[in-house]
Amino acid sequence: MNLRQLFQQHLAPTSPAPMNLEMVRAEGVYLWDASGKRYIDLIAGFSVSNIGHSHPTVVQAVQEQAARYMHLMVYGELIQSPVVSYARLLTSHLPTELDCVYFTNSGAEATEGAMKLAKRVTGRTKMIAFHHAYHGSTQGALSLIGDEYWRRSFRPLLPGIYHFPYGKEEVLEAIDQSTACVILETVQAESGVTAPDPTWLQQIRKKCDATGTLLILDEIQAGFGRTGTLWAFEQMGIQPDILLLGKALGGGMPLGAFIASKDRMHQLSYQPVLGHITTFGGHPVSCAAGMAAMEVLLSSGCIDRVKEKEKFLLQTLQHPAIQAIQSAGCWMSLQFASSTLNQQVVHQCVKNGLLTDWFIFAPDRLRIAPPLTIEDEVLEEVVQIILRSIDEVTTA
Ligand code: PLP
């Protein structure tokens, strides 16, 4: 059996139609498959590779830390410098109230930890989430997912979770003194990059304050410069009580985090003791990689150019078949007349050397989320490939 057949035979699938490309190398904004074909990466591992693939500084940090030590002990017992240093770096770029980091292995685990923390701190169980929300695939996070199609087969899920339309005022009335938390993506990812009106977020913040409800912002995709500022909430005039990070947090290594105030976070260490535990969360190699990536991100100046790149894409991605564009920095979705047409365009783009796909709740939208370091000439090539691919599909 060749590698493709072994992949199909021995790896659990997540869909009936995986991309099925065998990638052998990745560097910067490019991926190469086994035949030597080069692809521009317009997904960046779903906003993981914000500084591009295999950045030499990150590779070096991984190698050095792996040579020093890898796993030593479960989370939270030993003082491990890459973990402490990264927590320090993160919190130094966050509002002062967000001064305590709980590192996890993944975004979903960050969501789980935050849900538990909200219950523990407030003594309440009601939670509010949104239609078309995605916060992870574990049972608790899945209870928050904003569409019944994805929940139905896994019921019973967590009780006491109420879903409301994202961006609409009707949620405000539902936030009351029995609500533990409101959890939402600062910019909603899988509905096709939906940026809310900041006023709506400010109203939610106000209602949370008035009722003692914790506001959890999920920036697992939106964080690390994707929307043009280090954190998307900086553009919204609010700050969360708990921030969820993942994806780019690990610089290409698996890492998630929920971040809150020290006072709140400490409540996970008593009643019960070990209120939240993990073996590998905050792995020292992941933290070394994540910290190196964040330092590169901050020193490269690429976040400052995100809005400019967004403007260029919005100006140049003009085609009669593109019905609408939603965007938030170097992150956007192009809407086509149907999901079938979008799939055809996506496949044509891949054929033409541009790796892209669609969105969980918006199969009629094409994803644009390149590494933020993408050069102007490559961005021009991206636009040309998309427009050519649309032409090839629509005139075929
Ligand atoms: N939250 C958001 C907004 C996400 O996009 C994702 C993953 O796609 C998650 C949470 C879950 O992260 P992970 O896949 O690392 O569990």
Spatial CA neighbour of 231 closest among 215, 213, 249, 214: 249
The protein residue with its alpha carbon nearest to ligand 1, atom 2, reads: 135
Q: How far is the CA of 153 from the centre of ligand 1 (A)?
A: 20
- Among the atoms of ligand 1, which is closest to the Cα of residue 256? 15
> Which secondary structure element, helix H or strand E, spans residue 130, and what is its range?
strand 126-130
CA of 36 from ligand 1 middle (Å) equals: 31
pLDDT of residue 396: 77
How much distance in Å is there from the Cα of 268 to the middle of ligand 1?
23
Residue nearest atom 1 in ligand 1 by C-alpha distance = 135
The whole-angstrom separation of Cα 134 and Cα 147 is 9
Order across the sheet with 354-355: list the strands.
Answer: 23-27, 30-33, 38-41, 354-355
- With a CB cutoff of 8 Å and minimum separation 6, the contacts of 120 are 267, 268, 275
Q: Model confidence over 310-345: pLDDT tens digits?
A: 999 999 999 999 999 999 999 999 999 999 999 999
Distance between start and end Cα atoms, the chain: 35
> Which of 111, 183, 220 most suits a substitution to test ligand 1, by most atoms within 8 Å of the C-beta?
220
Q: Whose CA is nearest to atom 10 of ligand 1?
A: 135
Please indicate, yes or no, whether the overall pTM of this predicted structure exceeds 0.85. yes
Mutate to test the pocket of ligand 1, among 219, 247, 280 (most ligand atoms within 8 A of CB): 247
Q: If you search the block for the tokens 């109420």, which residue do you land on?
A: 162
Ligand 1 center to 254 CA (angstroms): 12
- In 148-280 the beta strands, taken as DSSP E runs, fall at 161-164, 179-185, 214-218, 242-245, 256-260
Taking the CA of residue 108 as reference, the ligand 1 atom at the shortest distance is 16
User: For residue 104, how far is its CA from the centre of ligand 1 (angstroms)?
Assistant: 12
- 137-171 burial, b at 16+ Cβ within 10 Å, e below that, comes to eeebbbbbbbbeeebeeeeeeeeebebbebbeeeb
pLDDT band at 104 (very low <50, low <70, confident <90, very high): very high
Whether residue 158 has pLDDT greater than 80:
yes
**CB burial of residue 313 (10 Å; 0-12, 13-18, 19+):** buried
Q: Measured from the CA of 189, which atom of ligand 1 is nearest?
A: 3
Measured between alpha carbons, how far is 99 from 260 in angstroms, rounded to an integer?
6
Q: Kindly indicate the confidence band of residue 105, based on its pLDDT and cuts at 50, 70 and 90.
A: very high
Cα 156 versus chain centre, distance: 26
Place of tokens 């490019």: 30
Q: For ligand 1, atom 12, which residue shows the shortest CA distance?
A: 107
What does pLDDT average to over the chain?
Answer: 97
- What contacts 321, CB < 8 A, 6 or more positions away? 336, 337, 341, 345, 390, 394
Q: Is the pLDDT of residue 229 over 80?
A: yes
Q: Whose CA is nearest to atom 7 of ligand 1?
A: 136
Q: In angstroms, what is the span from residue 187 Cα to ligand 1's centroid?
A: 13
Q: What is the pLDDT of residue 134?
A: 98
Cα–Cα–Cα angle for 40, 50, 281, nearest 5°?
125
The pLDDT tens digits for 291-301 are 999 999 999 99
Return the pLDDT at 2. Answer: 93
Percent pLDDT > 70 in the chain is 100
Distance 320 CA to ligand 1 centre (A): 33
Instruction: Calculate how far, in angstroms, residue 227's C-alpha sits from the geometric centre of ligand 1.
Output: 16
Question: Do 221 and 247 contact (CB within 8 A), yes or no?
Answer: yes
Phi, psi values for residue 12, rounded to 5°:
-60, 130
8 A C-beta contact, residue 253 and residue 289 = yes
Q: What pLDDT was estimated at residue 241? A: 98
Ligand 1: which residues within 6 Å by Cβ?
Answer: 46, 106-108, 111, 134-136, 185, 189, 218, 220-221, 246, 256
Distance 278 CA to ligand 1 centre (A): 18
The CA–CA distances, whole Å, from 341 to 94, 123, 346, 347, 348 equal: 42, 48, 9, 10, 11
pLDDT band at 209 (very low <50, low <70, confident <90, very high): very high
Where residue 17 falls among pLDDT bands split at 50, 70, 90? Answer: confident
